[in-house]
Amino acid sequence: MRIDLHTHSTASDGTTSPVDLVRAAAATGLDVVALTDHDTTAGWAGAAEALPPGLTLVPGAELSCVWPAPDGRVIGMHLLAYLFDPAEPVLRAERARVRDGRIVRARRMVELMQADGYPVRWDDVLREAAGGPVGRPHVARALVRHRLVADVASAFTPEWIGRGGRYRVVKPDTEVVDAIRMVRAAGGVPVVAHPLAAARGAVVPAEAYAAMAAAGLAGLEADHLDHDADARRRTREIAADHGLLVTGSSDFHGANKAVALGAATTDPAVYEELLDQATGSAPVAA
């Protein structure tokens, strides 16, 4: 069994439609694929309808969260949520609140660039998002389109919208312990995505996971492109300390990231344990 529990479609910041994503997952030999777009379930129906025989779809989302450090810093985190009830009102309202925050933030970035004399317009960003939720990659692509940067990666720098960037604007994401409780209350199973991906910014210290485990966290994603061998080993140690499961996944984004579907996978026994904990929705098989 080849199981990839973390992918993005055009419903968030991937470049592959939900339909094409499940077809590609089957073509690459996956048995199980989770669709985990950022803060949205908009891709679930399309992926389910197009599901090829032999492939199981795990409906999910990747929730934008923060961990407030005792020293006052706010550290961004991503929480994978599997098999929750998409209609459960509290979690649904929170997804909408976070998505709206993305729009406010992207608009503000454009305003700051315009104030410095750059010709980027909000319409340009909306066009890049093509009707999906607006995110920083769409702002980045608008910068590429205007030849202000050479490529998307060059936009994620301190000159532009990267870490410490001149035009970076923070958004009001969910406190991770609250998010874990919301996912559980909606019948879902929460797993922290790429917990030690230091290249993305500050990471949460190991001691913070006690409170998350107590709130109902199920697992940690260890095998991920942004984790080197040491980060994978340390993630497994944190998981062992708190009785958490360990997953692996590609975090596929289509052409937005150079990683293939199934580049990392999850152990079938771990997958079964995640399924056993889920009550909000069921995996879909054709």
List interacting residues with Zn ion (CB under 5 A). Answer: 62, 78, 193, 251
Torsional sign, CA 82, 30, 231, 157: negative
Residue 151: how many CB atoms within 10 A of its CB?
Answer: 11
Query: Which is nearer to Zn ion, 4 or 62 (by Cβ)?
Result: 62
Residue least distant from Zn ion (Cβ)? 78
- Measured from the CB atom, the residue of 120 and 188 that comes closer to Zn ion is 188
Residue among 277, 199, 217, 251 nearest 62 (CA): 251
Closer CB to Zn ion, 20 or 251, in the complex: 251
Nearer to Zn ion, 94 or 173 (CB): 173
Q: From the CB of 78, what's the least distance to Zn ion, in Å?
A: 3
How far is the C-alpha of 40 from the C-alpha of 33, rounded, in Å? 17
Q: Enumerate residues 6+ apart whose C-beta is below 8 A from 134.
A: 102, 103, 106, 125, 126
CB of 140 to Zn ion, least distance (A): 16
The residues pairing with 56 across neighbouring beta strands, listed in sequence order, are 32, 285
Q: What is the smallest separation between the CB atom of 194 and Zn ion, expressed in angstroms?
A: 6
Alpha carbon 57 to its chain centroid, in Å, reads: 17
Q: How far is the CB of 199 from Zn ion (least distance, A)?
A: 12
Residues near 150 by beta carbon (within 8 Å), at least 6 away in sequence: 144
Q: How far is the CB of 144 from Zn ion (least distance, A)?
A: 21
6 or 184: CB nearest Zn ion: 6
d(CA 104, CA 206) in angstroms, rounded, equals 32
CB of 274 to Zn ion, least distance (A): 17
Q: Name all contacts of 66-72 with Cβ < 8 Å and 24+ positions apart.
A: 66/173, 66/174, 66/175, 66/176, 67/175, 67/176, 67/204, 67/208, 68/175, 69/204
Q: Which is nearer to Zn ion, 120 or 193 (CB)?
A: 193
